[in-house]
Structure 1
Amino acid sequence: MSVRYDYKPFGHQHHHHQSQDNRHNYQISKTSESQQEHEGSGGQKMSEQTYVPETMQALRLPRGMHDEDEEKGNLGQRPRSGPALLEFDSAVPTPIPTPSQYLIKVQAAGVSVGEVRAITRVGEKYRNPPSNDATVVADGPDLRGPIPGREFCGKVISTPTEDQRMAAGPTFKVGDEVIGLLRCRGDNSDGDQTVDGEAADVVEGGHGAAAEYTLAVQQELAFKPRNLSAAEAATLPLATLAAWQALFVHAGFDPDDGECNRPSDGPLRVLVVNAGGTDVGRQVINLFNVPTFFPALSHHIMGGKGPNETAVWICVTGEPADLDTLRHSNYKFDASTTRTDIAEAFRENGWGPVDVVIDCSGPGGSATRRMLHSPVVVKNKGRIIGLHQPHSTYPDKPSERDMRAEAKARGLATEHVKVQPNGRHLAKISQFAERGDIRPLTHVPVFDLIDGREALVDAEKTRGMTGRVILRVDPAISEI
């Protein structure tokens, strides 16, 4: 039996004269196929109603602040960008889903300093948004600024009307707990979609998850791992999807056939640059340690079973404190260095070159990229996967042209991850998290939504662009 949900407002009250307690009612009507057939002939339509507030609590940025400040000469009185601009607002209009969108009641949301800085840098996009990009209220477009938060855990409140006309109905039902990664402006384009730094982008439509309700399409969602709390589950989507796509899309490994992921000449050799300083780096190491993806090789001698050969040799680089954090968190790796000259560290320690480099160091200069392309560091026909798009230089420097020519001659493949929402990838991550193979990021601190501004300001001071927090939107959920 298919189910149809009609999502429509009724009993609207004028926004400017309402209090926080006034509610905007949305009716969700649930009708079976057989009931639909009889509606035209006088059959009674059974319905059940749920009520969504007309306004919601959210952490948001003001719209058009910079122009106003410039006109009034207040540039020295307000911060120009970053978390200090955030405001907690208890009267933000609740978003209304399109026929392809789910309405999600958010339980916990992940927000990074880099994302907030990116939003404030492109705030001019929100002064005059296109009509299809504005929150719809009776008084016209919402004049508030965008809401941050790409990743979240929450509960489905309403399902897409276009899916409910299909025989199978929507993938996620009302009441299902889900995790998600929201699409950014610029996804599926040449825009820079990176994770742990300044290049993080703005959630499409400005409706991020640092709010009581958010909108998502099917490809942005997966079922929540049942063994994790909402706060734990909210740490998974962005960093783990970036790590997953680095390994299983860009590096060419196969998550469904681990035996094919081993080189013929011994263990897979991997270098993870700045592993401890980024959430993506931690999840890269986590994935390399999943036996299903990279199984160890068993030696059989004279009918007996000998010792297992390690599946992956992992070398990590980073600051001493970050490497200590990795060790204390039981992330498994074989070698480490705090040296900035990675090629020299490989020479001094007698380490052979690696098959794959995963670079989580952020946008770097040509000297850093040349070092990672060194034959001392990476084998011929090896892969270099960057989590950040390098800054382009025009015209090209001779050293840049020489590096590309050498990389081509050695058969090196260099790619940059533009993390994309992907329901299939996220579902796999959720399954392995439920098995205990993929771990949540338990070091990320949890704060209530109302304290989000102060939490992110503090994260910016202590961690810079990589600072990140989980915001507990539903007070009933448990902490990590």
Structure 2
Amino acid sequence: MASPIPKLMRALIQPNAAETRLILTQCEVPVPDKRAGEHLIRVHSIAPCAGELLWPKNFPPPKPRELIPCYDIAGTVVAAPESSPFRVGNEVYARTNYFRPGCARDYAIGVVDELAHRPQHLSWVQAAAIPLSSQTAWQALFVRSGVGGFTSGAWKGKRVLVTAASGGVGIWVTQLAKLAGATVIGTCGPENVELVHSLGAVEVINYRTTNLREWAQAPEKKVDVVIDCIGRKSLEDAWWAVKTGGILLSIFQPPEQVKPEEYTGTGVNSIFFVMSPNRAHLEEITKLVDEGKCRSVVDSVWPLEQFEEAFKRLDSGHAKGKIIFDLSLNN
């Protein structure tokens, strides 16, 4: 028998958009608007995203709302619209929309277009590490790049460079590009070289000892596609690695912002995009994970009460994979 839904729950709240501190407090459990396709989810695990405490200031929500972080969720449906394909008791995961409060709370809201059935062979913690990173990688490669879909065969023979290949998104770009048939080159620090190789990269560039611009001077090193996950100097140097007519896609900033003044290449299609939660894409990821073809990588697991330490680890930039909050700990 399902446990009754309480009136109050724990929640991490950012008091205002001007400051990045968080407080752990109690607030009322949200009431889903079933006419709008909303489901109430009992949260088991969540994943924060680097820099997200700056979003309310830099990208204010279109409507005023509680500033609750963490939009990656793995949990159990406890209330659903009658027309929904998800029923009470279904185990799901999602990247929820920034327009609504996030999921750093015991109960959160998800809609049909975001939710997917979570991989059955993973823990809640492992599942929460997947939605944002995997969908961003999927959309960068198979939607926004213009090369072709996952099963199109268009990636065979393509050379793909992934910057920050050991980070949350880079891990998935590396795996998915390899599965699609591409030859993958990844950049990372020396401590993560073995990991990036294990994910499918045929060459791993240690950015601390190898300058990407210098690496790309040899014509045979040039790549068809760069998926940049870190921006700034790394993205600037990546311009030199793209073939004429190639694609330079960044999830961090518009590539033109850091295009070198002395760059003389032509025909490069530069793209910047922000992912949109997509149920169909996430269900495809679920299949690949359940088939053992892809995996999530978890850096560390924290109880909600240790949010300050967890966000410090996240902001350090040295996490290998995803930071996860397990809401069953210390509860």
TM tier relative to shorter chain: 0.7 to 0.9
Which ranges of structure 1 fall in alignment gaps of 5 or more residues?
1-47, 67-79, 135-144, 185-203, 295-311
Match status 1:373 vs 2:239: yes
Give the distance between the partners of 2:247 and 2:255, measured in 1 at CA: 20
Q: TM-score, normalised by structure 1?
A: 0.61
User: Which residue, 283, 286, 290 being the options, matches 2:175?
Assistant: 286
Aligned equivalent of 2:15? 62
Correspondence for 2:120 among 226, 237, 241: 226
- Partner residue of 1:447? 302
User: Cα RMSD between the aligned structures?
Assistant: 3.1
State how far apart, in whole Å, the 1-side matches of 2:259 and 2:138 are. Answer: 34
Q: Residue 432 of structure 1: SS of its match in structure 2?
A: helix
Percent sequence identity over aligned pairs? 27
Q: Is contact 1:222-1:427 (8 Å) kept?
A: yes
Q: Deviations over 1:47-69 (max 9, x none)?
A: x99732111111222247x6xxx
Structure 1 residues 315 and 454 mapped into 2: Cα distance closer, same or farther (>3 Å)?
A: closer
Give the one of 52, 64, 71 matched to 1:150: 71
The equivalent residue for 1:390 is 254
Counterpart residue number, 1:179: 93
For 2:93 and 2:272, the matched residues in 1 are separated by 25
Q: Which deviations, in whole Å up to 9, do the C-alpha atoms of 1:73-124 show, x marking residues without a partner? A: xxxxxxx43xxx22221x21111111221111111011134112434x459x
**What displacement does 1:258 show?**
4.2
SS in 2 for 1:289: helix
State which structure, 1 or 2, has the greater radius of gyration over its C-alpha atoms.
1
1:392 and 1:346, CA in 2 relative to 1: closer, same or farther beyond 3 A?
closer
Write the distance in 2 (CA, Å) between the matches of 1:270 and 1:456: 31
Aligned match for 1:112, one of 26, 49, 53: 49
Structure 2 counterpart SS, 1:357 = strand
Q: Give the superposition deviation at 1:253.
A: 4.2
Cα distance in 1, alignment partners of residues 72 and 164 from structure 2: 23
Shift of 1:316: 1.9
User: Is the contact between residue 94 and residue 114 of structure 2 (CA under 8 Å) also seen in structure 1?
Assistant: yes
Aligned residue among 360, 368, 371 for 2:229: 360
CA–CA distance in structure 1, aligned partners of residues 325 and 15 of structure 2: 19
Residues 112, 456 of structure 1: 8 Å contact kept: no
Q: Please give the per-residue CA displacement for 1:335-373, whole angstroms capped at 9, x wherever unaligned.
A: 23335632311336x6332111111222x26xx656433
The correspondence for 2:140, drawn from 246, 250, 265, is 246
Map 1:315-464 → 2, pairs under 5 A: 315-327=185-197, 330-337=198-205, 338=207, 339=209, 341-347=211-217, 351-362=220-231, 364=232, 371-374=237-240, 377-390=241-254, 410-442=266-298, 444-460=299-315, 462-463=316-317
Counterpart for residue 323 of structure 2: 469
Q: TM-score, normalised by structure 2?
A: 0.87
Structure 2 residue runs without a partner (length 5+): none
Q: Residue 94 in 1 paired to residue 29 in 2?
A: yes
Shift of 1:465: 9.7
How far apart are the structure 2 equivalents of 1:335 and 1:466? 18
Cα deviation code 1:203-231 (max 9, x no counterpart)? x23x2111110011111110011111111
Residues in 2 aligned to 1:313 and 1:412: alpha-carbon distance in whole angstroms: 19
Distance in structure 2 (CA, Å) of the matches to 1:470 and 1:288: 25
Q: Which amino acid aligns with 2:77?
A: V
Contact kept? 1:106, 1:155, Cα under 8 Å: yes
Cα distance change, pair 209–108 in 1 and its aligned pair in 2 (3 A): same
Measured in 1, the distance between the counterparts of 2:213 and 2:260 equals 18
SS at match of 1:219: coil
Superposed CA offset, 1:298-346 (max 9, x none): xxxxxxxxxxxxxx3222223222324434xx22222233356323113
AA in 2 matched with 1:154: G
Determine the C-alpha separation between the residues in 1 that align with 2:150 and 2:196: 27
Q: Which residue matches 1:272?
A: 162
